[in-house]
Chain A
């Protein structure tokens, strides 16, 4: 950005010259007096003229990732460019930064405009606090660097700052809900007996049993050698399918949208099952979230969290749905969707028929489409009635899912899935009819 005279300096030069000339030519000392403030200002401007012709500004940091609820300081710093003789320039002045408003982002100072005087490298720092998870591009800020007299100014734009806000997640409350563990390591006890930690039975010693399995108490009481029998520890594969084709808002602007509910549900489910040692993968039906391959450990939690935080809320829906991956029989599938379109409903049924243990997590905001919402005072259209009808239409589809053995749970927080997970865990322990009977 190059320095140039401000309107104040132009005004001072023009009026100073005009009144001065008038005073000299007309021999009027009053005109000379009136020219005086402008001449003094022009002299001040000469004294404070920046040594460099141009200045470079930049926003720091350029890109940053923070947790939801955190704030980040973004600084606009300026640096004078060295003159043609290579000498260092005078690096003092005022930096005035004006950040454009970004929906969902709070600035401190409130309107995102700040003037700071001092060394240019200190710059002007504003605190940026995104209200929700997601990807934000803050700026570019309009920047002006001026001298103390406000006679010289270099104006331009700084680079924008990219902020990624990782969603805050709370661990799911409830049991594992794994009906058929399919892996060979993990924290779930399988129905099969073998090496593990959960006691299954105590029986008499047989050839081949390990000596460390001998139960010495029972052996001494009965006088015959007995061993402990255990269930094997297994893990399972968890597939989280998301449907981001729609972002359905709540009744009020500040209420969570369906995309918010989806992100919270995915983060909680992933954290819950990775904590059990399971392999968790992520697949988005609506193509707004990148797919994450199955993996385990804390790194997988970070990868899924990163994928969620990069969702572009403003992206227009309409892309063809991403085809579902193949799944192994017994895979635990969480399908997070507002369940509005026939496409996701058909995929749910397909996953069930492929042998998955499917749980539908309903992410439609609870505030819309209810009879209570009809009493909302601010009504400018029939949108609320339309949502009531839409929700009623959806009910029949949800009943058909329930008939197919797919539980549908509305996401209302980390405790939402507790009931269904407990029911699934209990179903695993229940006696089954043997085939052919």
Chain B
């Protein structure tokens, strides 16, 4: 009981000393994770008697508190398996959205786990984090769009749609270049 009280006290202390930058990052991670859980739950419409939803909720909490632990990996695995197993008949844009959200959760957890919660970020560090994470999510979204387009070409996509897909591919290449150039 005393250990639990000490642990909770430590968490409250960490919360009190969280820097504004890292606090904002954690809020973004919480919102993105919850959004991913809610979207997967509502678009699949399937759950194992609510167990998966609760499990995902616990994992979101764990990810928020310990982003450098296995919690984000388990959360992403659960969400991924949930989507793979129950997304039959989902539209292409729904696939792209879910994949982009998984990418966002992954990269935000990586950024949040790289520094202690009380660390302040210099403007250059904030800029690098923002540009890097943003560009990564955009690239993931565009790449997912490309995969969705390619896999559905044989199912009657017109030449215009194929051209659009090629354009998206080109744009993804450009963003990839920007991403590389943004390295500090």
Residue tally, chain A, CB below 8 Å to B: 49
- Residues of B118-140 at the interface with A, using a CB-CB cut-off of 8 Å, are 118-122, 124-125, 127-129, 132, 136, 139-140
Contact B139 A8 (CB under 8 A): no
Give min CB distance, B23 to chain A, whole Å: 12
Say whether, besides A15-B73, A41-B136, A151-B110, A116 and B122 are in contact (CB < 8 Å).
Answer: yes
A40 proximity list for chain B (CB < 8 A) = 103, 136, 139-140, 143
Contact A96 B128 (CB under 8 A): no
Contact A117 B127 (CB under 8 A): yes
B42 proximity list for chain A (CB < 8 A) = none
B125 proximity list for chain A (CB < 8 A) = 94, 115-117
- Residues of A340-362 at the interface with B, using a CB-CB cut-off of 8 Å, are none
Say whether, besides A33-B95, A34-B83, A111 and B118 are in contact (CB < 8 Å).
Answer: yes
Cα–Cα, bound, A15→B106 (Å): 11
Number of A-B contacts (CB under 8 A): 153
Residue tally, chain B, CB below 8 Å to A: 52
Contact A8 B113 (CB under 8 A): yes
Closest to A43 in B: B176
Cα–Cα, bound, A12→B105 (Å): 12
Say whether, besides A96-B114, A113-B118, A30 and B87 are in contact (CB < 8 Å).
Answer: yes
Contact A34 B84 (CB under 8 A): yes
Give min CB distance, A128 to chain B, whole Å: 15
Cα–Cα, bound, A15→B87 (Å): 19
B87 proximity list for chain A (CB < 8 A) = 30
Contact A150 B139 (CB under 8 A): no
Contact A118 B184 (CB under 8 A): yes
Closest to A38 in B: B106
A41 proximity list for chain B (CB < 8 A) = 103, 106-107, 110, 136
Name A117's contact: one of B103, B136, B184 (CB within 8 Å).
B184
Name B128's contact: one of A11, A98, A114, A148 (CB within 8 Å).
A148
B122 proximity list for chain A (CB < 8 A) = 114-117, 124
Q: Is A188 an interface residue (CB 8 A)?
A: no
- Residues of A44-61 at the interface with B, using a CB-CB cut-off of 8 Å, are 44, 47-48
Say whether, besides A113-B119, A114-B119, A148-B182, A6 and B114 are in contact (CB < 8 Å).
Answer: yes
Cα–Cα, bound, A30→B79 (Å): 12
Q: Is A109 an interface residue (CB 8 A)?
A: yes
Contact A34 B182 (CB under 8 A): no
- Residues of A68-116 at the interface with B, using a CB-CB cut-off of 8 Å, are 92-94, 96, 98, 109, 111, 113-116
Q: Is A283 an interface residue (CB 8 A)?
A: no
Cα–Cα, bound, A93→B129 (Å): 11
Say whether, besides A92-B184, A113-B116, A44 and B106 are in contact (CB < 8 Å).
Answer: no
Using a CB–CB cutoff of 8 Å, the interface residues on chain B facing chain A are 17, 19, 68-70, 72-73, 76-77, 80, 83-84, 87, 95, 98-100, 102-103, 106-107, 109-111, 113-116, 118-122, 124-125, 127-129, 132, 136, 139-140, 143-144, 147-148, 151, 179-180, 182-184
Give 6 nearest A-B pairs by CB, closest first.
Answer: A37-B103, A8-B110, A113-B119, A109-B120, A111-B118, A117-B128
Using a CB–CB cutoff of 8 Å, the interface residues on chain A facing chain B are 6-8, 10-12, 14-15, 18-19, 22, 28-34, 36-38, 40-41, 44, 47-48, 92-94, 96, 98, 109, 111, 113-119, 124, 144, 146-151, 153
